[in-house]
Every structure is written in C-alpha cells, then in structure tokens.
C-alpha cells in the first residue's frame, strides 16, 4: 500500500520523467551528429528502450499527477509526454490541467488525435473543455455522441458560466420513495458501480421529484422491510442548475457537504454536485482573484511564449500609465511651488505611498468581507464610520511621526506641519476610497477585486500630491 508521502512520490515521478526526457534529447542530439553506418541501429535500440521506460512510468501515474508534471515541463518536453499518452489518459489530463496549459496542448495537437482524445470525455466534461477548442472539432465530436449524450451536452452548455449547471454531473443513483430497503439495495446491486463520493442515495417520487436522501449507512443497518420514506432524511440541501457556483460553494463549506442533489424548477432531480468539483472551483477562483488584483487579465501559463505573457499584462500596464500620467499632471500644476522649495519633490512620494498602502489594506478587507457575505447593507455604515476612525487615528499618530522627522531633516517646522497634515488627510482619502470602490463595484454587480487597486492608487496618488503641494503653496512659499 502506498502510505502517502504523496508530495514526495510526486517529486520522484517528476524527476524520473525529467531524466528520461533529458536522455531522449541527448539521444536525439547524438543521432544528428553521428554519421557512422551502425548509428541507426544503436540509436533506435536505446531510443526505444528509453521511450518504453517513459511510457511505463506515465501509465502508472494518476491523471492529476500527470497533469501536474505536464504543467511544470517546458513546452517541448510537454509535447513529448503528451504525445505518449493514450487517448483516455490524455483526455483526463486535459480535464485536470489548468486552462492555459490545456490550451497550449490543444493547439499543438493535430485534428485527428484531438477528435480521438475528446471522444473519450463524458458530455459534461466535453462541455467543460469546449471553449478551448475549435468549434469545428467540437461539432465533429458532438456528432459522434448518441442522442442522450447530445442532449446532455446541449443542456450543460446552455447554463450560464460559473453556474451549478456547468459543474454538476448527471452520474447519480436514485431510489423510489415507495420502495423498501430491500428494493433500494437491489437497485445498488443492479448498478455494478456506484459513482464516487456516493455517501447517500437520492430519493424521488413517481414524477422524479426529489423527496429526500438515504444514507448508505441506513441501507446497511436497517431491516430489508423498512420503507425508504420512513428512513430517509428530508432535510437535504439542494441546488438548481441556475444557482451561482460560488453560492453553492459557500453552502458546501458551511454545511460540510460531500454531494448534493441538483433539481430543476419543478423539483425534479437533474444532477449531482460533488465536493471535489466544488473544491476545484474554489481554488480556481482564489487563484484568479489573486492574479486579477495584481492586474493580470487571466491565468498565465509559466511556459507560454514571452510574447503571449507580455500581452497578458498590457491592459493593466496601459491603465496604470494613464493614471500615472494624470497624477503627474497634478504635480505639473505646482511646478512653480516645487521650483521655490525643491524639498517638496523629495517628500511628496511619501504622502502618496502611505496613502496607497493603507488604502490597499482597506480594499483587501472589503473584498474579503464582501466575498464572505460579512458586509451587509445593515452594517455598511458602521464599517465606514470605523474605517474613518482608524484612518484618523493612524493619520494622527503617523502624521506626527513623519512630520517630526521631516521638520528635523529639513530644519523647518512649517514643512513638518504641512507634511503631518497632508498624511492625515491622505489617509482619510485612502480609507474612504478604499471602502467606496469595492462597495460600488459590488453594488453594480461587478467583481470588486478587478480594478479596485488601480482606482485606489490613482486617487491616493493624485490626492496625495494635490493635498501636499496645495498646502505647501498656501503656507510655505
């Protein structure tokens, strides 16, 4: 048995695969260089032996581990491994790999093989990967499905992005409410396999409307004559295909669910949502949020060509340049003041920077509070008041400290006073903008993470320069 050390095992697999690929490259390089007659024989023997080793290793790996190894290999090595996979394993890797890496694999695969690989997927899985693939090829695979599978594919695709309908699986076991335990047990026996993560069976009535859930444990322990409806639990958390996946994820976390039924608007059982899919969704969401807040438009493949990566970062770079230019124009308004007192040029970035940083703290707290539903209409005002207090307090404390340092450094008490006042005021601006931006984006139905930092930094930069240089012009020069 494999007593985990699962991380180590994965590391070992990775280095073995890397070594084999390395050998492969050496062999190929040698082949190019050698000119002797018998090279072909030798080469092909070593080559084949090595390849066989590689193939055996790849066959033993869990699809998730395979996907991981493919993710961390440079593009050339990736394609060698990818080419060695049988269609079914290749299809599993496509499901497990991140979208950007999946895309790079799809792009490098010729049509015939791609159709063969995609043909291995269930209809809901095909719907999941569909967006990365030439519609023409999807259509070809679609036509090879039977009528039931085709309709399943169509209905999955019809649900909105990030909905429960997209994530649910049609694989489930149901029993009738009128049956007894014996009947339910027979149904389980009739199916050679239970789908994974089946802790409970769903109970439906004659119209296939969900009525409850029957745990495998009860099926084991109750007498065969006991009726399903008497034993089943009726307090079942269920979802509809239209529910947003992130709401479902919150319910999974809150109620510690393993699998939950999905029902249509008439209460009919249409699918099942399982915790592994929900966990994947949550991880993808957390990652993409972290990247979006740093101003990356999407997930980036670490081995994508530099050109692709450069473009992935342009939108934000452009917005940043635009706002930086605007803040720069604010400084431009005060050029004569700076000319009179050049120390201002050195001190003004401090005011802007402190504002930006505290504002980003507020933004991070607001985004998290909104994501966890901790911020409600009822408590928003309370929160705003509190953030205002915090900024006044921090402004008073740190404004005084900075003011003192500036006064000593430049030997000017008035300069110190202006600095202290500017920091206090800019912290208040930062707190209010830091609260307002995520709240307004959220009320408008937008993602509060996207763009909040740009808007905030723009405000704290421009206002920081304006307040500081404005006070300086009024009181110092």
Does 307 help bind a second copy (rule: CB under 8 A)? yes
Does 287 help bind a second copy (rule: CB under 8 A)? yes
Q: Which stretch of DSSP H or E encloses residue 213?
A: strand 210-215
Does 375 help bind a second copy (rule: CB under 8 A)? yes
Does 332 help bind a second copy (rule: CB under 8 A)? yes
Does 2 help bind a second copy (rule: CB under 8 A)? yes
Which CB, 166 or 387, lies closer to a second copy? Answer: 387
Query: What is the rounded CA–CA span in Å between residue 260 and residue 271?
Result: 9
Which CB, 71 or 122, lies closer to a second copy? Answer: 71
Does 235 help bind a second copy (rule: CB under 8 A)? yes
Binds a second copy by CB under 8 A, chosen from 162, 171, 300, 447:
300
**Minimum separation from the CB atom of position 361 to a second copy (A):** 5
x/- track of binding to a second copy for residues 163-182 (CB under 8 A): --------------------
- Dihedral of alpha carbons 213, 218, 222, 224, sign: positive
**Minimum separation from the CB atom of position 263 to a second copy (A):** 6
Does 236 help bind a second copy (rule: CB under 8 A)? yes
Binds a second copy by CB under 8 A, chosen from 134, 280, 315, 446:
280
Does 443 help bind a second copy (rule: CB under 8 A)? no
**Residue span binding a second copy (CB under 8 A) among the ranges 25-33, 112-120, 134-142, 336-344:** 336-344
Angle between helices 75-84 and 63-72 (to 10 degrees): 150
Using a 10 angstrom Cβ sphere, with 0-12 exposed, 13-18 middle and 19 or more buried, the burial of residue 50 is middle
Binds a second copy by CB under 8 A, chosen from 39, 111, 386, 443:
386
Query: What is the rounded CA–CA span in Å between residue 175 and residue 423?
Result: 67
Query: What is the rounded CA–CA span in Å between residue 94 and residue 100?
Result: 11
Which CB, 81 or 138, lies closer to a second copy? Answer: 81
Could you tell me if 13 and 69 are in contact, meaning their C-beta atoms sit under 8 angstroms apart? yes
Does 358 help bind a second copy (rule: CB under 8 A)? yes
Does 256 help bind a second copy (rule: CB under 8 A)? yes
At 122, give phi and psi (nearest 5°): -70, 160
**Residue span binding a second copy (CB under 8 A) among the ranges 33-41, 84-92, 110-118, 210-218:** 210-218
Which residues sit opposite 202 in a β-bridge? 174, 213
Q: How far apart are the first and last CA of the chain?
A: 80
Does 267 help bind a second copy (rule: CB under 8 A)? yes
Number of CB atoms found within 10 A of residue 13's CB: 19
Structure tokens at 68: 């991981």
**Residue span binding a second copy (CB under 8 A) among the ranges 39-47, 104-112, 377-385, 437-445:** 377-385
DSSP 8-state code for residue 264? -
Binds a second copy by CB under 8 A, chosen from 185, 404, 432, 436:
185
- Within 8 A by CB and 6+ apart from 121, the residues are 91, 94, 95, 129
Residues 391-430 that bind a second copy (CB under 8 A): 393-394, 397-398, 401-402, 405
Binds a second copy by CB under 8 A, chosen from 103, 122, 180, 243:
243
The order of strands in the sheet holding 200-204 is 174-176, 200-204, 210-215
Residue of 328, 329, 349, 348 whose CA lies nearest to 476: 348
Residues 65-94 that bind a second copy (CB under 8 A): 65, 68, 71-74
DSSP 8-state code for residue 195? P
Does 324 help bind a second copy (rule: CB under 8 A)? yes
- Please provide the DSSP assignment of 333-362 as one string: TTHHHHHH-THHHHHHHHHHHHHHHHHHHH
Does 254 help bind a second copy (rule: CB under 8 A)? yes
Query: What is the rounded CA–CA span in Å between residue 100 and residue 41?
Result: 40
How many residues touch a second copy under the rule CB under 8 A: the total is 137
Binds a second copy by CB under 8 A, chosen from 6, 44, 49, 178:
6
**Minimum separation from the CB atom of position 359 to a second copy (A):** 10
**Residue span binding a second copy (CB under 8 A) among the ranges 42-50, 84-92, 133-141, 297-305:** 297-305
Binds a second copy by CB under 8 A, chosen from 196, 224, 298, 414:
196
Which CB, 30 or 365, lies closer to a second copy? Answer: 365
Query: What is the rounded CA–CA span in Å between residue 355 and residue 431?
Result: 8
Q: What Cα–Cα distance (Å) separates residue 226 from each residue in 197, 209, 210, 215, 234?
A: 25, 21, 20, 14, 16
Which CB, 135 or 196, lies closer to a second copy? Answer: 196
**Residue span binding a second copy (CB under 8 A) among the ranges 126-134, 143-151, 218-226, 440-448:** 218-226
């Amino acid at each position: 048995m494999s007593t985990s050390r699962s991380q180590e095992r994965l590391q070992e697999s990775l280095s073995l695969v890397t070594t084999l690929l390395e050998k492969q490259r050496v062999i190929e390089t040698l082949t190019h260089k050698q000119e002797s007659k018998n090279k072909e024989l030798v080469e092909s023997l070593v080559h084949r032996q090595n390849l066989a080793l590689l193939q055996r290793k790849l066959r033993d790996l869990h699809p998730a581990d395979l996907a991981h190894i493919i993710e961390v290999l440079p593009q050339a090595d990736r394609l060698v491994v990818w080419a060695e996979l049988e269609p079914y394993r290749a299809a599993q890797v496509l499901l497990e790999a991140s979208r950007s890496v999946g895309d790079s694999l799809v792009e490098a695969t010729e049509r015939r093989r791609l159709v063969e690989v995609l043909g291995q997927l269930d209809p809901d899985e095909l719907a999941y990967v569909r967006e990365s693939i030439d519609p023409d090829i999807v259509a070809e695979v679609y036509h090879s499905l039977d009528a039931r599978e085709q309709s399943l594919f169509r209905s999955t695709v019809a649900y909105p992005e990030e909905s429960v309908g997209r994530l649910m699986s049609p694989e489930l076991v149901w029993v009738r409410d009128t049956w007894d335990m014996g009947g339910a047990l027979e149904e389980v026996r009739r199916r050679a396999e239970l789908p994974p993560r089946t802790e409970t069976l769903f109970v439906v009535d004659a119209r296939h409307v969900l009525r409850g859930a029957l745990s495998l444990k009860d099926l084991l322990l109750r007498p065969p004559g006991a009726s399903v409806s008497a034993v089943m639990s009726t307090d079942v958390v269920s979802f509809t295909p239209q529910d947003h996946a992130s709401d479902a994820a919150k319910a999974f976390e809150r109620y510690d669910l393993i699998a939950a039924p999905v029902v249509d608007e008439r209460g009919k059982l249409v699918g099942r949502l399982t915790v592994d899919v929900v966990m994947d969704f949550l991880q993808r969401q957390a990652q993409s949020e972290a990247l979006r807040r740093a101003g990356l438009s999407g997930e980036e493949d670490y081995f994508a060509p530099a050109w692709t990566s450069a473009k992935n970062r342009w939108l934000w770079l452009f917005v940043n340049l635009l706002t930086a230019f605007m803040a720069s124009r604010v400084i431009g308004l005060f050029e004569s003041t700076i000319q009179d007192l050049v120390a201002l040029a050195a001190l003004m970035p401090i005011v802007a920077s402190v504002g930006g940083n505290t504002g980003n703290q507020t933004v991070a707290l607001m985004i998290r509070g909104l994501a966890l539903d901790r911020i409600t209409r009822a408590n928003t005002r309370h929160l705003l008041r509190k953030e205002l207090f915090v900024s006044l307090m921090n402004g008073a404390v740190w404004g005084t400290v900075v003011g003192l340092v500036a006064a000593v450094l430049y030997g000017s008490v008035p300069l110190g006073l202006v600095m202290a006042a500017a920091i206090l005021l800019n912290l208040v601006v930062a707190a209010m903008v830091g609260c307002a931006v995520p709240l307004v984006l959220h009320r408008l139905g937008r993602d509060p993470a996207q763009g909040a930092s740009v808007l905030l930094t723009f405000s704290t930069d421009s206002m920081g320069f304006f307040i500081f240089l404005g006070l300086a012009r009024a009181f110092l020069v």
